[in-house]
Structure formats: C-alpha cells, structure tokens
A and B are shown apart, each in its own frame.
Chain A
Amino acid sequence: MPLLEVHNLKKHYGAHKAVDDISFSIERGSIFGLLGPNGAGKTTLLRMITGIFYPDGGQISFDGRPFKAEDDILHIGYMPEERGLYKKMKIGEQAMYLAQLKGLSKAEALEKVKTWFEKFEMQSWWNKKVEDLSKGMGQKLQFVTTVLHEPKLIILDEPFSGLDPVNANLIKEEIYNLAKRGCTVIFSTHRMEQVEEICDQIILVNKGQKILDGTVHGVKQEYKKNQFKVLTEEGIKLPASAQFQLVQQNGHEYTIQLAGGTSTNAVLEELIRNQVPVLGFTEILPSLNDIFIRLVEGTHATTRAFQAAS
C-alpha cells in the first residue's frame, strides 16, 4: 500500500492554474523526486500535501486514509526551500519548540534533540542564537528540526543548497538511513545529478501538470534515442550502412543512431564483417537533465525563466 496517494489534485488562483489535475502515488520507504522548472507548481503541490493549503479539487490519501491535516501533519516533516528559524532564539530551545509543536512531549523532545545534535556534532551550539550561525550550520539545524519527530513522510525542498560537500554528504547519508528505516522522502530539486543518484521514482511537473512519471531507469529507457557509442582503433572509418546512421565523430569515438527495428547484434555483426575492430560498444542513455530540458522546452510554456540545472 502506498504511503501517499494523490488523485486529480487541483489548486487555482483565479484564472491561473497552479496545480492542474495531478495524480501520483509514493511507495513506503522510497525516495521520490519532484522535478520541475520554477513556477511549475511544485511548492503549491507540496503545500497541499503538508496541509498548508486546501486543494480546490481532488483527494489526498495518507497512510491508507483520507488526508486529515490536523492529525497527519504530525507525521510529516517539511523543510521549505526558503529556510526559516527564529533568529533570536537559542538553538536548543528552538529545536525543542519545533519538536513539541509536532506533538512530542517535553521529555521525548529533549531526548530526540540530544540524539540528533550528537549525531551532527552540534551539542556545543545549544545556547547559541540562530543569528550567530553560518548558513551551513543553519541548514543542518533546519534539517534536524525537520526529521526530529521521525515523520513517516519527509519533504525536502532543495535540501543541499548552501551546503559544502562534506555536510551535503552527511545529509545525504541521513536521507538514505531514514529511507532504510521506513521513512518516505519527497525530494524537490533542480539538481538532476542528485536526483539520478538518490531517487527511486520521479515525476516532472510543468505548468501545473504532470508530464512525466516513473522510475529513474524506466524514464531513461523511455526517452532513450537508440544511440550507441562505438569505440574503435585510430584511423578506422565506420562503413556506411542501412542499419545505422553516423551522428557524430570524435577521434576514434563514434556516435551512431540505430535505424528503427535494428538490433545491436545485427549492427555488431555488420561491423565485424567489415573488419572494424570494436573496442567498445555502449548504449547512450539520456541524462535526466536532457530529458528535463527537452520536455520543458518542448512545451514552450514556462511562465518564468527556466534555470538550467547546474
């Protein structure tokens, strides 16, 4: 049974359809990537799932039951893209406060905060104020306050922005650990290499609509162009053939486009027959980045300038 199911979710602001009929489901313990250009409606979608906004139409079911904001938000941890903490508040008190608002008792909260602070080596910060922290430290604190109450669903909006590689790895490890322990993670980002690395399942949203849904592997298979990379020896030319077309040559590295219905073995056979020494033969799978750009640009419809993934 999926942890979260979304059916035909809609949210309109006047004539503007921020979220227009989106459905998907997320399996328990999986890491789910929510992708889309700026202004695609990701934040609105997440705000409906976290109970901040009421949908104009459609249903959300959480843990097998219809979503009820008051109770279910206790089992959700949300880290918005725009980080926010009380600047004048001491770090320990702040973590305790946010944990108690998630329904933890004072004793439970204290125990959890201590455990997490130890894990992230933050014990000595307890009496510091947030305004005295560096951006990266603030980010770590924000992550801790998000996952402190061991939510069933963790929603992270751009969790790695502003983190150095060491801290980014630390958080990535924690995300894996949480997923292993049964937490479900929704991961909203522009950074495709992280999505490829981390996510089990992705959806791509643009102009309030879902335009792609599947596993990372499945999506790549779906959008592959049947192109292959052939590595030969210096000075060898590939023969012209009806079975494939030459797309690009880079020294002794060729990119070929297979004609429809041609199998790889047939191509290899032909190459061998023509005395071409094949050193390497690999399929070129499109990167998520390519797919993303192809799909989003194809719609010619982004309201705001699209920021290329870095």
Chain B
Amino acid sequence: MNKTFIIIKREFLSRVQKKTFLLSTILLPILIFGLYGLIIYFSVKGEEDIRVAIVDSKGVLENKIQSDKTLSFTFLKQADTAQLQKDLVDKKYSGYILLPDSISRRDSLQYHTRNNVGLMTQGKIESRINKALEKSSLQTLLAPGVTLEQVETNKTKVDLKVSKSDGKTGNAGFATALGFICGFLIYIVLFIYGSMVMRGVMEEKTNRIAEVMVSSVKPYQLMIGKIVGIGAVGLVQFLIWGVLMLSLQLLIPVLFPQVMEQAGAAQAAVDQAGAAKSSMLTTIMNNLQSVNMFMIVGLFIIYFLGGYLLYSSLFAAVGSAVNEDPQDAQQLMLPITMPIIFAFVIMTQAINNPDGGLAIFGSLFPLTSPIVMMARIPYGVPAWELILSIALLIGGFLGTTWLAAKIYRTGILMYGKKVTWKELWKWARM
C-alpha cells in the first residue's frame, strides 16, 4: 500500500473516530434544530386561544376586525361589567375591552383580563385593533363608491429580476444571500481546517515523532498525507451536516404540522389581501432554477478544495516552524490570516458590485479567489474568468505546497530556535 495513503488513512480515522468529532458533527446540528423545534413548538402550542369581548356600542369596529381560531373577537352592545367579570371566571372570554364612544389615533384602551398576557399576544391584539381602526378611518377619506378592498388590490409589489444582455436572469437579493453564504462558508472552512492542519503538525513536532516519521517517509508525503486526511474529514463533516440539515428541514413539517398550517394561513391572508402573486417559496424556487444549482455546488467544491489546499499547506509550514509556544504560532500565522480576512472584505464589496475592478481582481488572485469568486458566481461570471481563476488557483496551490514542503522539511526537525519569516524564507530557498 502506498505510504501517503497509509498516512491519509491514519489522519482521517484518528480524527473521525474521536468523540469530539461525533459530538460536533452529529450532535451539534441536532441540538440546534432541537432548540429551533422547541421554540417553534412552544410558540405554537404554548398559546391558548384568546377570545376577546369588545364592548362597542357605536359599532365602530364591528365587522372590520379580523378573527381567527387563535384570536377571536366578540362584539357586545351593552357594557355589563359584572356579567363580563363572571364570563372571565367562566372562561367564556379571555378578556374584554371597553371601547369609548369616540376614539382617536392616540387613545389608549384597557384590556381587562384575569390571566397574564404575553408580549406576543398583546402585540397581536394591538395590531388587529389598530388595523380595524385604520380601516374605518380610511374609509371616511375615500370617495363615495370606492371600497377599501379596491384600494388594497391596487397596491403592488413588483419583484425585480435583472436581465443582463447575455440573456441570464437573476435576482439581486437572492444572489447576494447565496453568494455571501458560500463565501462565508469557505472563509470559515479555511480557518477551521487550516488551523487543524497546523495543530496536527505542531503536535508531531512537539511529540518528537516527526524524526521517526521522516526516517520512514518523505517529509512531503507526511505533509500531504496530513493535509489530504484532514481535508477528507472536512468534506465528510460538511456532507453529514448537509444531509442532516436537509432531513431535519423535511422533518419539521411532519413533527409540527401546526407550523405549516399557520404559515399556510398567513400566506392565504397575504394572498387574499394582495393581488394573486407567487408565494415566497416559489420565488426562491424560481431563483434557484435561474442560477443553476449544480454549477454552484460544483464550483463550491472546487473552490473549497482549492482554497483549502492552498492555505492548509501554508498553515502546515507555520506549524512546522513553531516550537511549543503557541504565541509564536499566532505571530507567524498573521501573514496567512491577513489575506483570508482581506478576501472576506473584498467579498462584501463584490456582493454590492460584482463586476467592479476590485471584485474581478479578487476573484482571480489565488489567495482571495476561493472566497471572492463564490460571492460573484450567483450573478453570473464569464467563462474565461472562471477558467482563469481556477487555473490560477491550481497554480497557486501547487506553488504554496512546493514552498511549504521546503519550509516543512527543515522546520519539522528544528528545535529550540524562535523562527522569523526571514528564516522561513531562507529555508524555502535551501
């Protein structure tokens, strides 16, 4: 069996079999989703249906207020406080409001109840009453014969789609979000797995196993084995996260049917109020179709691997150069972390101005391209730029690996000396 493969296998298995890996990979998303589910569950289940009695002798609000299952309104003509109090005890009503004869915009109303009222419930009652009052006062402003419904139907909400001259269509808001998420993921990946490689190399050096190892394998094999092994850990972790997220996302409607019901009801209300317009979900689906999901996933993997290989070898070089002191590592890491942070800054610019000079430079330069290019892809990038960027990235990681291997070879056996970047450069030229 190939030695590099044996090393890859060990690096991969020794990390995957650790309890912390299982914890962070499987338990973490489940925990987050569990929490998420609990919150939804309680916000849905925890609320009792509220029945509010409104004493409205003038009929100001009658028939104008919206009632549904969770919050319903009953109108009474006469104020019989004693009877209402009794009704509260009998739980016929959750609470009641005495409406004054005339009410202006800034008046406050009293809600009488025997229970505590949550902030959400209070807000809901408030907004329903406000809406109803608004309707009734708006009606007085309208010309005779014009109904509020007619006004409502004439409100428009146009979804702007950008159609570029090359025939591609896209939605700026959606592209921004998708680009940002992809870029941000790669940014995180570079840091997490890059420093994992660095710690692995430092461990080998401080344990003094390095010398034993390089008497059996070439330093280059040892370095590449570690980088590839940890990269595989990263891919597996992402895969598991992806599958978990997807399956949990699908599980939520099954576990909490009420949520979907409510969302559906809200959607129906919106549809009713507005003109017939595509729902949020279909908007997203349309946008997803317009940006070719396969290409994005494919390019994400390419830039993920390219960026990881490029930076992890640099991290390995730094790990090989430091001694036990982690502070030395911090110092030496700075020139590596700077371009990553710089790339992130360019990315935030590129999202606003995807075809700007800085964005184009950033998406071609191999040290920043994995992050910046991901942000540009959803907007559509010319093929030649993509090809050039990937070619430069491959060249870049071959270059950094070559450079790092030379530093690594010397550094891994060097003890006791505090190393500077000048020294590293000397090793690289040796």
Contact = CB atoms under 8 A, between A and B. Distances in A.
A89 interface: yes
Given A89-B14, A97-B6, A100-B6, A51 B209 contact: no
Among B7, B214, B215, B413, the most chain A Cβ lie within 10 Å of the Cβ of: B215
A90 to B, nearest CB: 10
B3 interface: yes
A85 B6 contact: no
A52 B413 contact: yes
B135 interface: no
B215 A51 contact: yes
Interface stretch (A76-84, A193-201, A291-299): A76-84
A70 B413 CA distance: 19
Contacts of B216: 73, 98, 101-102
B92 interface: no
B215 A50 contact: yes
B214 A52 contact: yes
A82 B211 contact: yes
Contacts of A100: 1, 6
Nearest to A142: B212
A78 B413 CA distance: 15
Nearest to B214: A52
Nearest to B211: A80
A68 interface: no
Contacts of B7: 101
B207 A84 contact: yes
Contacts of A87: 203, 207
A101 B207 contact: no
B409 to A, nearest CB: 9
B217 A101 contact: yes
Nearest to B430: A13
A118 B332 CA distance: 46
Given A89-B14, A100-B1, A101-B217, A52 B6 contact: no
Counting contact residues on chain B (CB < 8 A from A), the size range is 20 to 34
Contacts of A89: 14
B208 interface: yes
A84 B211 contact: yes
B215 A52 contact: yes
A162 to B, nearest CB: 13
Nearest to B207: A84
Contacts, number: 58
A84 B210 contact: yes
B14 A52 contact: no
Contacts of B1: 100, 105
Contacts of B413: 47, 52
Contacts of B217: 101
B208 A83 contact: yes
Interface in A37-81: 47, 50-52, 69-70, 73, 76, 78-80
**B203, B209, B216 pick with most chain A CB within 10 angstroms:** B216
Interface residues of A, number: 27
A95 to B, nearest CB: 12
Nearest to A13: B430
Interface in B197-232: 203-204, 207-218
B211 A52 contact: yes
Interface in B1-48: 1, 3, 6-7, 10, 14
Nearest to B412: A52
B210 A101 contact: no
B211 A101 contact: no
A225 interface: no
Contacts of B6: 97, 100-101
Name which of A82, A98, A142 has the most chain B CB atoms within 10 A of its CB: A82
A88 interface: yes
Nearest to A84: B208
A142 B218 CA distance: 20
Nearest to A46: B215
A84 to B, nearest CB: 3
A86 B209 contact: yes
A195 B365 CA distance: 60
A178 B212 CA distance: 20
Given A84-B209, A85-B207, A76 B215 contact: yes
Interface string B37-74: 00000000000000000000000000000000000000
Nearest to A70: B218
Interface string B309-337: 00000000000000000000000000000
Interface in B218-258: 218
B209 A85 contact: yes
Nearest to A49: B215
Interface string B111-128: 000000000000000000
Contacts of B209: 84-86
Contact of B215 (A70, A78, A105): A78
Interface of A: 47, 50-52, 69-70, 73, 76, 78-80, 82-89, 97-98, 100-102, 105, 142, 145
29 contacts: A50-B215, A51-B215, A52-B214, A52-B215, A52-B413, A69-B218, A76-B215, A78-B211, A79-B212, A80-B212, A80-B215, A82-B415, A83-B208, A84-B207, A84-B209, A84-B210, A84-B211, A84-B212, A85-B212, A86-B14, A86-B203, A86-B209, A88-B14, A89-B14, A97-B6, A98-B212, A100-B6, A101-B7, A101-B217
Given A84-B207, A84-B211, A97-B6, 10 more contacts: A52-B214, A70-B218, A78-B212, A79-B212, A80-B211, A82-B415, A84-B208, A85-B209, A102-B216, A142-B212
